[in-house]
């Protein structure tokens, strides 16, 4: 398997493969870039079909963190970790402690946090042996409500740009994934008077959204072709692809999932189809912004974090406007804006 020539490798500074026989830990930790500060990004626990799939995923995710942290104006670099295997079978306190010891070996080059299938409680178990984890209980805690807030504001910014108003009342949003972020988001959208069409692999989550947020449930593969104004991907990545783009009837794609475009050219295809795309790492930065405030010299403050999350609205409007001015797709403009910041070592340098 080639590594350095993978397009996803993209000059990663460090990629660490680690295992612990006793606990069954198999993990890959990727540090993409530390120009703006130490690499920070969550850890995902997933039963990958192959080690190669896990590697490609972690490389894509860690590069995404470099761009996300830079564009959000945080003094963090980009990194990510994946733990390979079935979380239902493998999760144990010993495994998270073993993961914590692996983080210690990296001496603060990378700080980990929660992501898909990892909870704050899991992170606290790692924290019992390492300081190189963030998103801690009693400090910034669960990032999901902040990610949901940022995504909600990003959806409003997209509506403002596309429809001339950021009022979501009466609009129909198709939400894929009712997990930690998706469910908080549904609550906000429902409170604003939006109509919801939802799907998830978990029937209990669907029942909850139907009961509490008057959502209409559809099958897993039916979500792409529904009659809606905005598609809100909140599950896994790559759902904007050759298969789904012809099906979309929406005018906007704006959700919290990482790596929504299967390939960069799918962002071009959205532009050609007149669909406004809110670049994933710009709209879903709320959680990492919240975590950033754990480092604040006065101690963590939810008020400061919330105020910073609100900047996502303006960042997205800037991306959309610049994309229009330069007649380029929004994902390219977000990349250019992030690269400009990374090159100078931080937004405020």
Ligand X SMILES: NC(=O)c1ccc[n+]([C@@H]2O[C@H](COP(=O)([O-])OP(=O)(O)OC[C@H]3O[C@@H](n4cnc5c(N)ncnc54)[C@H](O)[C@@H]3O)[C@@H](O)[C@H]2O)c1
Binding site for ligand X (CB under 6 A): 115-116, 143-144, 147, 176-182, 199-202, 205, 220, 234-236, 256-258, 284, 287
Residue (73 or 345) nearer to ligand X, CB = 73
Q: Which H or E element spans position 339?
A: helix 330-343
Q: Which H or E element spans position 111?
A: strand 110-111
Which DSSP category does 255 fall into?
A: -
Question: How many Cβ atoms from other residues are within 10 Å of residue 81's Cβ?
Answer: 29
Given a contact cutoff of 8 angstroms between Cβ atoms, the answer to whether 127 and 138 are in contact is no
Q: Parallel, antiparallel, or unpaired: how do β-strands 39-40 and 25-33 relate?
A: unpaired
Q: In this chain, which residue has its C-beta nearest to ligand X?
A: 179
Q: What is the rounded CA–CA span in Å between residue 297 and residue 38?
A: 17
**Does residue 230 sit in helix, strand or coil?**
strand
Residue (20 or 311) nearer to ligand X, CB = 311
**Does residue 10 sit in helix, strand or coil?**
coil
Residue (109 or 147) nearer to ligand X, CB = 147
Residue (257 or 270) nearer to ligand X, CB = 257
Q: Which residue has the tokens 């990378």?
A: 110
Q: How far is the CB of 139 from ligand X (least distance, A)?
A: 15
Cβ burial, residue 175 (10 Å; 0-12/13-18/19+): buried
**Alpha-carbon 94 to chain mean position:** 27
Residues 6 or more apart whose CB falls under 8 angstroms from that of 327 comprise: none
Phi–psi pair at 68, nearest 5 degrees: -65, -50
Q: How far is the CB of 272 from ligand X (least distance, A)?
A: 25
Q: How far is the CB of 142 from ligand X (least distance, A)?
A: 8
Given a contact cutoff of 8 angstroms between Cβ atoms, the answer to whether 283 and 316 are in contact is yes
**Does residue 316 sit in helix, strand or coil?**
helix
Residue (125 or 199) nearer to ligand X, CB = 199
Residue whose C-alpha is closest to residue 102's, from 25, 12, 11, 13: 25
* Catalytic option among 63, 80, 156, 195: 80
Q: How far is the CB of 279 from ligand X (least distance, A)?
A: 13
Q: How far is the CB of 262 from ligand X (least distance, A)?
A: 14
Residue (45 or 110) nearer to ligand X, CB = 45
Given a contact cutoff of 8 angstroms between Cβ atoms, the answer to whether 257 and 237 are in contact is yes
Q: What is the rounded CA–CA span in Å between residue 109 and residue 105?
A: 9
Q: How far is the CB of 275 from ligand X (least distance, A)?
A: 20
Active site annotation includes 80? yes
Question: How many Cβ atoms from other residues are within 10 Å of residue 17's Cβ?
Answer: 12
Residue (228 or 297) nearer to ligand X, CB = 228
Q: How far is the CB of 273 from ligand X (least distance, A)?
A: 22
Q: Which residues are tagged catalytic?
A: 80
């Amino acid at each position: 398997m080639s590594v350095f020539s993978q397009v996803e490798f993209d000059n990663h500074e460090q990629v660490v493969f680690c295992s612990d026989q006793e606990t069954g830990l198999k993990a890959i930790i990727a540090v993409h870039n530390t120009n703006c500060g130490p690499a920070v990004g969550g850890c995902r626990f997933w039963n990958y079909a192959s080690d190669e799939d896990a590697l490609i995923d972690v490389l894509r995710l860690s590069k995404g963190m470099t761009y996300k942290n830079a564009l959000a104006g945080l003094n963090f670099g980009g990194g990510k970790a994946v733990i390979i295997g079935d979380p239902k079978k493998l999760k144990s306190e010993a495994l998270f402690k073993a993961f914590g010891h692996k983080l210690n070996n990296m001496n603060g080059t990378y700080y980990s946090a929660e992501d898909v299938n990892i909870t704050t409680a899991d992170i606290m178990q790692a924290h019992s042996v390492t300081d190189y984890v963030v998103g801690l209980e009693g400090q910034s805690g669960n990032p999901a409500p902040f990610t949901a807030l940022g995504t909600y504001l990003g959806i409003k910014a997209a509506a403002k740009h596309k429809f001339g108003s950021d009022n979501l009342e009466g609009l129909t949003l198709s939400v894929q994934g009712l997990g930690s972020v998706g469910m908080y988001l549904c609550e906000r959208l429902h409170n604003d008077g939006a109509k919801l069409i939802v799907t998830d692999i978990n029937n209990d989550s669907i029942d909850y959204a139907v009961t509490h947020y008057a959502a209409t449930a559809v099958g897993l593969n039916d979500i792409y072709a529904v009659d809606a104004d905005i598609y809100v991907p909140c599950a896994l990545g790559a759902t904007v692809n050759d298969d789904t783009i012809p099906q979309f009837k929406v005018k906007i794609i704006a959700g919290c999932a990482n790596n929504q475009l299967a390939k960069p050219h799918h962002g071009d295809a959205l532009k050609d189809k007149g669909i406004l795309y809110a670049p994933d790492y710009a709209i879903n930065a709320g959680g990492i912004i919240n975590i950033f405030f754990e480092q604040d010299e006065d101690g963590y403050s939810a008020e400061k974090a919330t105020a910073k999350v609100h900047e996502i609205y303006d960042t997205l409007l800037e991306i959309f406007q610049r994309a229009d001015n330069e007649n380029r797709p929004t994902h390219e403009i977000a990349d250019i804006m992030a690269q400009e910041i990374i090159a100078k070592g931080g937004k405020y340098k």
